[in-house]
Amino acid sequence: MSAVSTNRLIAVIPGDGIGPEVARASVRVLEQSATKHGLPVDFHWYDFGAEKYLREGVTLPEAAFQDFKQNYAAVFLGALGDPRVPDMAHAKDILLGMRFRLDLFINLRPVQLLHPAHTPLKDRKPEDIDFVIFRENTEGLYAGMGGNFKKDTAEEIAINEDVNTRLGVERIIRAAFEYARKNGKKRVCMSDKANVLTYGHGLWQRVFKLVQQEYPEITPRHLYADVLAMEMVRAPQDFDVIVTCNLFGDILSDLGAALVGGLGLAASGNIHPGKVSLFEPVHGSAPPLAGKDAANPLAMILTGAMMYENLGFTDAAREIERAVRTAIHQNRVTRDLGGDLGTQACGQAVAELIAAGV
Ligand SMILES: NC(=O)c1ccc[n+]([C@@H]2O[C@H](COP(=O)([O-])OP(=O)(O)OC[C@H]3O[C@@H](n4cnc5c(N)ncnc54)[C@H](O)[C@@H]3O)[C@@H](O)[C@H]2O)c1
C-alpha cells in the first residue's frame, strides 16, 4: 500500500524487456527536475510484468489496482511483452485492464518534429510538423464485443462490433477542442469513415457539428481517415489537433510517429482528466535490445514530460522537452538516432542539461 504522503504519488511499472532500462533513465530525469523545481512527487516502484507473472502467476493484484485508483496521481509504465508469454496474458490485465477499468478515454499522442534529420519527409522543418492526435481509447472496434460462429469450419463467421456511444464520442471530441482552446491551437480535424460506416461514424459527424459550435474561435475540419493518412504526409503543417476513433487513432498515430523519428521518440498518455492516468512510451519491450543499455530512453522521458504537464507542472515539462531537444541537437543520443551513447548516458545527458538550466 502507498505511504501516507501529501505528495502526488506516481506508480512506476518498468515492465519487461527494455522497460526497466528506459524507466530507470527516465525517472532519474524526472527526479532531477522535481528536485530543481521543488515538485511534490514520490515515485513508488512496482515489479508487475512477465517475470512476476511467470514466477507467481500474478498480473495486477486487485489491491494494487485499487491503490492506484484511489491514492495515485499517475502510473508511469515502461513496456510490456515477453516471448515467454506469447498470449500477453499479463499485459491484458496490467495495460488494457487499466485503460478500460480506469476509463482512460483519451489516448494522447503528440507528433512533433524535434530535429529536421528525423523526418523521412523532404525539406520539412520542426515548425512544419507539430500536432497532437486524440485517439478514443475505450470503445470502437477495441471494445471486445463480437464472436465466432461455426469456428474452425469452412462456414465460419467472425464478427467484431464497432461500439460508438454518444457519451464516448462526445467526451473525446470535447477533450480535443478543450486542448486546442487551452493551448492556443486554432484547428481541430475530426476523422472517420462516415461515408461507409454510416451508423457509428454518422454519430461522430453529428456530435462533431454540435460540439464545434461551443468553440467558435477554433476552425473545425473533417477528413475521411484514408484522406487524412495522405494529408498527414503531404501537408502536415495543416494540422494542430486531430481527433478520431480507436482503430484509426491507433494506425494514424503510428504514421505520425514515423513522421518525426520513430518509436525511440514517440510518447503517449492514457488520460482521464482529473483522475489517475497512465503514461507510457509508444514502443514495446524490444526484446533484442533488452539488457544491452542500447534502447533510446527519450520516448519515455518525453512521456514523463507529458505526465508532469498533466499533473500541472508545466514549467518542468517544458524544460524537460527543451533538454531533450538540446541533447538531440548535441547528438548526445543513442545509436538509433545516430549517436553513440547508451541508455543511461543519454538519460544522464538530459538530466545534466536540466541541471545546467537549458
Ligand atoms: N505498450 C506496450 O507495452 C507495447 C507496445 C508495442 C508492443 N509491445 C510488445 O513488445 C514486444 C516487442 O514488440 P515489437 O518488436 O513489435 O515492438 P517494439 O516497439 O518493441 O520494437 C519495434 C522496433 O523498434 C525498435 N525499438 C523499440 N523501442 C525502441 C527504443 N526505445 N530504442 C530503440 N529502438 C527501439 C525495436 O528494436 C524494434 O526494431 C511484443 O511482446 C509486443 O507485444 C508492447
Amino acid found at 298: L
Q: CB-based contacts of 196: which residues, under 8 Å, 6+ apart?
A: none
Closest CA to 241 of 313, 182, 300: 182
Q: What are phi and psi of 347, to 5 degrees?
A: -60, -40
| CB half-sphere exposure, 248, CA atoms < 13 A | 21
Pick the atom of ligand 1 nearest to 287's CA.
12
287 CA → ligand 1 middle, Å: 8
Domain match, 341 and 302 both:
yes
92-103 pLDDT tens trace: 899 988 999 999
pTM over cut 0.85? yes
250 annotated active-site: yes
Domain match, 246 and 277 both:
no
DSSP 3-state assignment of 136? strand
Give residue for cell 534502447: 295
pLDDT category of residue 139 using cuts at 50, 70 and 90: very high
- Of 228, 262, 296, the position where a domain reaches its end is 262
142 annotated active-site: yes
Pick the atom of ligand 1 nearest to 335's CA.
33
Give the model's pLDDT for residue 282: 93
Domain match, 121 and 243 both:
yes
254 CA → ligand 1 middle, Å: 12
pLDDT of 6 strictly over 80: no
Neighbours of 7 (CB within 10 A): 13
Domain match, 83 and 218 both:
no
pLDDT of 124 strictly over 70: yes
265-311 pLDDT tens trace: 999 999 999 999 999 999 999 999 999 999 999 999 999 999 999 99
Number of domains in the chain: 2
322-332 pLDDT tens trace: 999 999 999 99
Catalytic residue among 46, 53, 72, 142: 142
Domain match, 111 and 248 both:
yes
**Is 267 inside any structural domain?**
no
Catalytic residue among 67, 193, 215, 224: 193
Give the model's pLDDT for residue 178: 98
C-alpha radius of gyration, the chain, whole number: 20
- Of 195, 227, 262, the position where a domain reaches its end is 262
Give the model's pLDDT for residue 331: 97
Q: CB-based contacts of 148: which residues, under 8 Å, 6+ apart?
A: 156, 157, 158, 159
Q: Is 262 close to ligand 1, i.e. is its CB under 6 Å away?
A: no
Domain match, 311 and 350 both:
yes
Measuring from atom 29 of ligand 1, which residue has the nearest CA?
A: 264
List the grid coordinates of 270: 492514457
Q: Is 300 close to ligand 1, i.e. is its CB under 6 Å away?
A: no
Parent domain of 204: 106-262
